[in-house]
Amino acid sequence: MAMKISSRGFLIAACICCVAANARSLELSSATIGDLNCAFANGSLTSETLVRLYLARIEAYDKQGPALNTILTLNPKALEEARALDVERKTKGPRSMLHGIPVVLKDLYDVAGIQTTAGFIGLKGSTPWRDGWVAQRLKASGAIILAKTNLDDWFADAPDGASTLGGQMRNPYNLKYTPGGSSGGTGAALAAWFATVGFGSETGVSIRNPTSENCLVGLAPTYGLISRRGMIMSAVTHERSGPMARNLFDLTVALTAVAGFDPEDLATMAARGRIPAGGYTQYLAPQNGLRGARIGVLRQMFRNGPDHKEGRVIIERAIAELKNAGAIVCDPVNTGLPLFSLLREARVSDWEKKSATDLYLAGLGPNAKYRSLVDMIQQNSALLKNLAPMARVGRLDFDPAYLARLKTREELQKAISSLMDQYKLDAIVYPFKTIQATQIGAKRRDDADNALSSQTGFPALVLPAGFFSNGLPIAIEFLGRPFSEPVLLRLGSAYEECSHHHSPPAATPPLPGELIGG
């Protein structure tokens, strides 16, 4: 059954964008979901045409031209689905603002009838029998899953920014660099506008890293806000799914579709009663969202050294932009803890990889290629030697090293919560990272990024802050309290409006026909 449009915010936004869309033509690179809905409504665009435009870009730039290598599997029924949704729009009306909008998913997400490989050649042909949570909710909203994207190989030992199935990905802003792991395919695909919106996932920083490296906006949500059912994970207790887009409006539309309680992922029990009935778009406040907001600068998350100098200068400019937009900036704020060392001691993926993988494989049913991680390793021993220690992990209930890491995580959560209470903060800001993306062929550095959000489970919103001298993007991160996504979106939308740091990559220029209504 199609979902009725009932959100007052949806209707207001649609009216506003329709006025704008009728007054000017739309460029595919910068058109928001609101703009596209207006073009659907006034007849200047159909979903079928939109899918064709994106497929033409994939054809021109993914395996040819700059050869970004972001797409693993295209949905063979995408055009058929688009035509059906166009008919439905005419006869019944749209289900939501995602009706007829193409989406790409990192190839860890199950979509019925399309293989899920995690970039690992040993999972080629592994096809789920049903949609995972994210695909199910997106489809119910009328979205089209256009493609599954390449990623850093989830199981085999592969170079940074590469997988054994899909090969090396390239950053559209500088083709000598990777697009950031591990959701790099989603990041680079969105930057090159191969789709309107996408989803990544992260154990550590894998939503935020490609968001930063590809001049996007991305949300690592509160742990438990979005179900991981039908998603390959490495760590059950801190793995997250999250939306990525070229602007915050699109991100909020996607987030609205997928946030919610799922009885098959009990982590989402914490989200009950914490999700706004009217969706997340209503919290965007580009004109005054920063005015009077209390924002703490956590300088403990600023790294030092000559390689970080240029990045730090850019982030200082971003902080000045926050002040100029009316924010009350508390600089510095300090937990008094050695955060970087504690963050290293809070990650548990080496302990949970086995149980997380076994959980996913069990959900594939009797036709699963492998019964367990141990089975996968035994059948691919030459490729998976790196996983042998994880496969030997026993019961976690009494593992002292594992339990100590969970305790460290609790201490981090308490420290950040206390800091925000002490200064009455709406959010904390710091650079996501202050060094450039990893060069292809090089090894990713240990001091590359900041994992505070993933090791606390607190939400983090990442937005473009500018560019390095070689054209690579850099981002600022807003960290909030659990389930404070509405606050982060309010602050982020005002920063987005006052800073205007998004710019499309030169490597993937517009193609003929991408001026909608022109």
Report d(CA 222, CA 242) in Å as an integer: 10
DSSP secondary structure string for all residues of 238-252: T-EEEEEESSHHHHH
pLDDT at 19 over 50: no
Q: Which of 47, 106, 139, 163 is catalytic?
A: 106
| CB-facing half-sphere around the CA of 263: CA atoms within 13 A | 0
Residues whose CB falls within 8 Å of the CB of residue 433, separated by 6 or more in sequence, listed in order: 209, 212, 311, 448, 449, 450, 474, 475
Span 455-495, pLDDT tens digits: 999 999 999 999 999 999 999 999 999 999 999 999 999 99
Q: Which of 47, 206, 349, 499 is catalytic?
A: 206
What six digits make up the tokens of 210?
Answer: 């490609």
More confident: 16 or 159: 159
Is 241 among the residues known to form the active site? no
Is 182 among the residues known to form the active site? yes
* Residues forming CATH 3.90.1300.10 domain(s) in the chain: 47-502
Report d(CA 259, CA 275) in Å as an integer: 7
The three-point CA angle 477-314-323 to 5° equals 70
Q: What's residue 12's pLDDT?
A: 42
Other beta carbons within 10 angstroms of residue 295's beta carbon come to 23
What average pLDDT does the structure give for the chain?
95
Backbone angles phi, psi at 15, to 5 degrees: -65, -45
- CA 244, 245, 247, 248 dihedral sign is negative
What six digits make up the tokens of 453?
Answer: 């959000």
pLDDT at 317 over 60: yes
Report, in angstroms and rounded to the nearest whole number, the Rg of the chain calculated over CA atoms: 22
pLDDT at 354 over 70: yes
Report d(CA 355, CA 349) in Å as an integer: 10
Mean pLDDT confidence for 24-50? 96
Span 150-164, pLDDT tens digits: 999 999 999 999 999
Q: What's residue 24's pLDDT?
A: 67
The reply to whether CATH 3.50.50.60 applies to domain 47-502 is no
Structural contact between residues 413 and 458, judged by C-beta atoms closer than 8 angstroms = yes
Is 106 among the residues known to form the active site? yes
Percent of the chain past pLDDT 70, that is, above it, reads 95
Percent of the chain past pLDDT 90, that is, above it, reads 94
Which pTM does this prediction carry? 0.96
Mean pLDDT confidence for 16-34? 73
Structural contact between residues 71 and 62, judged by C-beta atoms closer than 8 angstroms = yes
pLDDT at 16 over 80: no
Q: Which of 182, 183, 454, 484 is catalytic?
A: 182
